[in-house]
Amino acid sequence: MIRLTEIRRQGSARLGMHLFYGAWELEWGVNMRIGDFTRRVMSTTADALFPSRCVQCNRDGVLLCNGCMEATARLDSKRSCRMCALPTGEATLCGRCSSDPPPVSALVATFAFDGAMRSAIHALKYDGLRAIAPMLGDEMAARWGNSRKMPDAIVPVPLHRSRLRSRGYNQAELLARPVAERIGVPLGTGLLRRVVDSPPQAAATDETERARRVRNVFEADADVEGLHVLLIDDVATTGSTINSAAQALLDAGAWGVSALVLAREL
């Protein structure tokens, strides 16, 4: 819970919060249900107390500085597989997607999951740094651009309700909100539910095992019928979570599903 590298990086203010959360969790037990209201207050307090420092280089005044952002590899659609965003050097499908096309018809990844993006996503998901989401969402919206076919609805990949309760917010929804605003498409947070709380991706390293675990994890609302849905998530590891969500949407009658993620693990 209290990781030394994090503490060193974030300085004493964040150390205080780590200890505060640590004491809280030790006292009440990590799985103890904490009321949504309390969580929200704690998370908002965390946003307010953390000084604006770059999550990567600690520079004052910004949550992620331009230098660190620019140093993180951006993924180019013209040189990546259209369906899984894996860099292929040219705009063709990779071998795997051409032999076994996934349910998602297009996966667009903004950055490689590395360097500053790894730090930013960690801060957003595990350090309660919700304030960093709008600038990351803006980068995603810019990446999507206005040249593509506009979707009918934007759907953040949902968390299971127990994980939502323990984190207090869905990081994918925090990213989806600015994307929806920037490209002018309604946000459909109620269109998809996560009905199985699959273990965190980091826990399952084997690709087949991870694919097996995310099958039937999602359930889509009948209102998706005929819609082109754009799924939003923070990270795509193999794309199996996104494809599981896409399959649920297609099963419920969606016309098609694309996906936009902040970062793609390579």
The footprint of Zn ion on this chain (CB under 5 A) covers a number of residues equal to 11
Residue 243 beta carbon to Zn ion: minimum distance, rounded to whole angstroms = 11
Neighbours of 59 (CB within 10 A): 16
Residue 14 beta carbon to Zn ion: minimum distance, rounded to whole angstroms = 16
Part of the chain binding Zn ion (CB under 5 A), chosen from 21-29, 89-97, 157-165, 215-223? 89-97
Phi-psi map region of 232: left, alpha, beta (phi>0 left; psi -120 to 50 alpha): beta
> What H or E segment, with its residue span, contains residue 264?
strand 256-264
Residue 239 beta carbon to Zn ion: minimum distance, rounded to whole angstroms = 8
Query: Does residue 73 touch Zn ion according to CB under 5 A?
Result: no
Query: Does residue 68 touch Zn ion according to CB under 5 A?
Result: yes
| Distance from C-alpha of 143 to C-alpha of 88, rounded to nearest angstrom | 18
Residue 33 or 96 having the CB closest to Zn ion: 96
First vs last C-alpha separation in the chain: 26
Q: What is the dihedral of CA 142, 144, 149, 150, to 10 degrees?
A: -70
x/- mask, Zn ion, residues 162-191, rule CB under 5 A, reads ------------------------------
Residue 39 or 264 having the CB closest to Zn ion: 264
**Closest C-alpha to 158, from 195, 109, 121:** 195
| Distance from C-alpha of 49 to C-alpha of 60, rounded to nearest angstrom | 14
Query: Does residue 84 touch Zn ion according to CB under 5 A?
Result: yes
Among 97, 153, 157, 176, binds Zn ion (CB under 5 A): 97
CB 113 within 8 A of CB 230: no
Among 94, 131, 164, 211, binds Zn ion (CB under 5 A): 94
Residue 140 beta carbon to Zn ion: minimum distance, rounded to whole angstroms = 19
Query: Does residue 56 touch Zn ion according to CB under 5 A?
Result: yes
Among 17, 46, 50, 54, binds Zn ion (CB under 5 A): 54
Residue 56 or 243 having the CB closest to Zn ion: 56
Among 63, 75, 81, 231, binds Zn ion (CB under 5 A): 81
Residues with Cβ within 8 Å of 212's Cβ and at least 6 positions away in sequence, in order, are none
Residue 219 beta carbon to Zn ion: minimum distance, rounded to whole angstroms = 26
203 burial level (CB within 10 Å; 0-12, 13-18, 19+): exposed
Q: What is the dihedral of CA 202, 158, 107, 142, to 10 degrees?
A: -110
Query: Does residue 129 touch Zn ion according to CB under 5 A?
Result: no
Residue 86 or 176 having the CB closest to Zn ion: 86
Query: Does residue 57 touch Zn ion according to CB under 5 A?
Result: yes
CB 32 within 8 A of CB 100: no
Q: Applying CB under 5 A, which residues contact Zn ion? A: 54, 56-57, 59, 65, 68, 81, 83-84, 94, 97
